[in-house]
Amino acid sequence: MQTKYIFITGGVVSGLGKGIAAASIGALLESRGLSVSLMKLDPYINVDAGTMSPFQHGEVFVTEDGAETDLDLGHYERYTHTTLGRGHNCTTGQIYDTIIRKERAGEYLGRTVQVVPHVIDEIKTRIIKASQNVDVSIVEIGGTVGDIESLPFLEAIRQFRHDTGMDNTIFIHLTLIVFASEEMKTKPTQHSVGKLREIGIQPNILICRSKAPLPENVKKKISLFTNVPEQSVITGLDVKSVYEVPLIFHQERLDDIIVENLRMWTRSPKLQEWAEIVDRFKNPLGEVNIAFVGKYVQQKDSYESLNEALIHGGLANHLSVNLHYVNSEDIETQGADKILASMDGILVAPGFGERGAEGKIQAVHYARTRNIPFFGICLGMQMAIIEFARNMAGIPKANSGEFTPGNPDNVVDLMPEQEGFQETGGSMRLGGYPAVLKADSLIARIYGSTEISERHRHRYEVMNQFVPKLEQAGMVISGRHPERHLVETIELKDHRWFVACQFHPELKSKPFKPHPLFASFIEACNQYKSERTSDT
């Protein structure tokens, strides 16, 4: 089968939502019965996103096969039915890494190794590899047209169209309509398309981000100066919920225009599912207030998947979810009561490093002792183990090897086989791993199954020698890795909803298929809220 390609570039400014646009196009094409794949080309020199600070680059999205990738892959998976992998996020660093290794191995036989053809060919090879067995492959190029570092990627996609054929490849360019007072300014769009055309790329479709719909005369003008047909100049209207984007694109006929350009014949799109999501988002029956306790809270991107999964949990219950981001250091200085008393639920988020850890432990303590719904994820579970060990299981010095290496009471620590590898990314447990759940546990009821598989991204594990003490004090180790017996999930019996997991369930939640743990957590928060309000 001939795979068709859609290349998505962006211009004028960064942060236009290219990732969401690419994901929405994926959703629209799936709704027409096509199979899709999505890929991100990132011009930075890091080999992957794993080593980048969440403050700078947002969330690191972990794929099923354990790659640490750009957060746009999270959007791609959330909007579609795809499961992406290592090959779907390609960086300049990976390209050069491959080429330099080949050069050292003598594979270029005395030739000069150059950007053209070697770097460009390596990019093209990776695009083809990541696009196997699908009708349409959607490829997003990171950065902004005009950046020095994205040039090799743009040259690669220019050649790609030449190699693959006009009917098999299209270019979609995202730009921004600037407003001067209330007047729409198209000049930045014209210049950005001019820049693309200079390097040999004529876009087929323009998506113009704008706070108001583009009137006909504006579309006409953009069309005239960019050579893009007027009907292919689309408004990318600013919307309240990112899940509206597939629908507003469809209203602009974007999916029709794409399949016409690619000479594909498909059924008409089925978009009821998306309409239902938007309807639930816009017309909630109530709301819950959740304390989101973490470290990177000033940079919401750092927890993109988690934010979305909580919203999905709300959608499942027809509720809107108000997230109150709490820097755990503020709990240390101001006390848990002041910050958490009015909340319907408390979530302790994943994270790395010691800063704010004691505040997170206090948040767990507050939720546990006051019977407030509590959800701990990854580091959040480790904090729950420490809190319980200190206050219930008679291990007052309990801590994590991440913060107090060498402490004999580290209830969370490196496994012996990991010692000595700490500084290399190699010691992390990454990607999908199975877990077996106890049949009579709350978590098994929530999943409706005792066998699950979820994605991981962590280094430290619960130390099994402390488990008997934790269990005697009433903690339920409800899920374990089947062979290695690593602790995967915990819960408390005499609590309305206290669940924590070592994995990241948020990575597999989708708006049209909210993850059961988030759906159940939000339901418990709402229940707690109504009990609390009827008490007073």
In the complex with ligand GLN, the residue whose CB is nearer, 460 or 497, is 460
Q: Count residues contacting ligand GLN (CB under 6 A)?
A: 10
Q: Is 350 in the site for ligand GLN (CB under 6 A)?
A: yes
In the complex with ligand GLN, the residue whose CB is nearer, 18 or 295, is 295
> Least distance to ligand GLN from the beta carbon of 373, Å?
20
Peptide bond into 396 cis (omega under 30): no
Measured distance CA(497)–CA(523) in Å, rounded: 10
User: Binding segment for ligand GLN among 122-130, 282-290, 456-464, 490-498 (CB under 6 A)?
Assistant: 456-464
Q: Where are the beta strands (DSSP E) in 450-497?
A: 451-458, 461-462, 475-480, 487-492
Measured distance CA(383)–CA(389) in Å, rounded: 10
In the complex with ligand GLN, the residue whose CB is nearer, 254 or 430, is 430
> Least distance to ligand GLN from the beta carbon of 313, Å?
19
Q: Is 304 in the site for ligand GLN (CB under 6 A)?
A: no
Q: Is 118 in the site for ligand GLN (CB under 6 A)?
A: no
Return the amino acid letter for 320. Answer: S
Q: Is 491 in the site for ligand GLN (CB under 6 A)?
A: no
Of 219, 455, 458, 480, the one binding ligand GLN by CB under 6 A: 458
- Asked whether the beta carbons of 72 and 40 are under 8 A apart, the reply is yes
Which one from 506, 515, 523, 525 is the annotated catalytic residue? 506
In the complex with ligand GLN, the residue whose CB is nearer, 241 or 422, is 422
504 is catalytic: yes
Q: For 295-323, give one letter per residue: b (16+ CB within 10 A) or e.
A: bbbebeebbbbbbbbbbbbbbbbebbbeb
Q: Is 402 in the site for ligand GLN (CB under 6 A)?
A: yes
Residue 476 per-residue DSSP state:
E
User: Binding segment for ligand GLN among 94-102, 189-197, 451-459, 483-491 (CB under 6 A)?
Assistant: 451-459
In the complex with ligand GLN, the residue whose CB is nearer, 184 or 379, is 379
Of 352, 371, 434, 481, the one binding ligand GLN by CB under 6 A: 352
Measured distance CA(530)–CA(98) in Å, rounded: 58
Which one from 122, 504, 515, 523 is the annotated catalytic residue? 504
- Asked whether the beta carbons of 68 and 430 are under 8 A apart, the reply is yes
Q: Is 403 in the site for ligand GLN (CB under 6 A)?
A: no
Sites for ligand GLN among residues 366-395 (CB under 6 A): 378-379
Measured distance CA(274)–CA(438) in Å, rounded: 35
In the complex with ligand GLN, the residue whose CB is nearer, 156 or 349, is 349
Q: What track of x and - describes contact with ligand GLN for positions 429 through 448 (by CB under 6 A)? A: --------------------
Of 457, 480, 508, 515, the one binding ligand GLN by CB under 6 A: 457
DSSP string, 222-245: HHHHH---GGGEEEEE--SSGGGH
> Least distance to ligand GLN from the beta carbon of 370, Å?
24
Of 351, 505, 511, 516, the one binding ligand GLN by CB under 6 A: 351
Q: At what angle do helices 272-282 and 304-316 cross, to 10 degrees?
A: 90
Q: Is 26 in the site for ligand GLN (CB under 6 A)?
A: no
DSSP string, 71-124: THHHHHHHHSS----GGGEEEHHHHHHHHHHHHHTTTTTTPPP-IIIIIHHHHH
Measured distance CA(126)–CA(94) in Å, rounded: 10
- Asked whether the beta carbons of 140 and 150 are under 8 A apart, the reply is no
Minimal CA–CA distance to 332: which of 309, 315, 355, 301? 355
Measured distance CA(147)–CA(139) in Å, rounded: 18
Of 153, 374, 375, 460, the one binding ligand GLN by CB under 6 A: 460
3-state class (DSSP) for residue 361: helix
Minimal CA–CA distance to 99: which of 73, 81, 117? 117
In the complex with ligand GLN, the residue whose CB is nearer, 54 or 514, is 54
In the complex with ligand GLN, the residue whose CB is nearer, 343 or 462, is 462
Only one residue has tokens 């004529």, namely 202
Q: Is 360 in the site for ligand GLN (CB under 6 A)?
A: no
Q: Is 348 in the site for ligand GLN (CB under 6 A)?
A: no
Question: For residue 55, which phi and psi values (nearest 5 degrees)?
Answer: -65, -35
> Least distance to ligand GLN from the beta carbon of 525, Å?
22
> Least distance to ligand GLN from the beta carbon of 502, Å?
8
Sites for ligand GLN among residues 47-106 (CB under 6 A): none
> Least distance to ligand GLN from the beta carbon of 402, Å?
5
User: Binding segment for ligand GLN among 99-107, 266-274, 453-461, 517-525 (CB under 6 A)?
Assistant: 453-461
User: Binding segment for ligand GLN among 104-112, 129-137, 231-239, 455-463 (CB under 6 A)?
Assistant: 455-463
In the complex with ligand GLN, the residue whose CB is nearer, 318 or 481, is 481
Q: Where are the beta strands (DSSP E) in 387-450?
A: 399-400, 410-413, 429-437
Positions annotated as catalytic residues are: 378, 504, 506
- Residue ranges in contact with ligand GLN by CB under 6 A: 350-352, 378-379, 402, 457-460
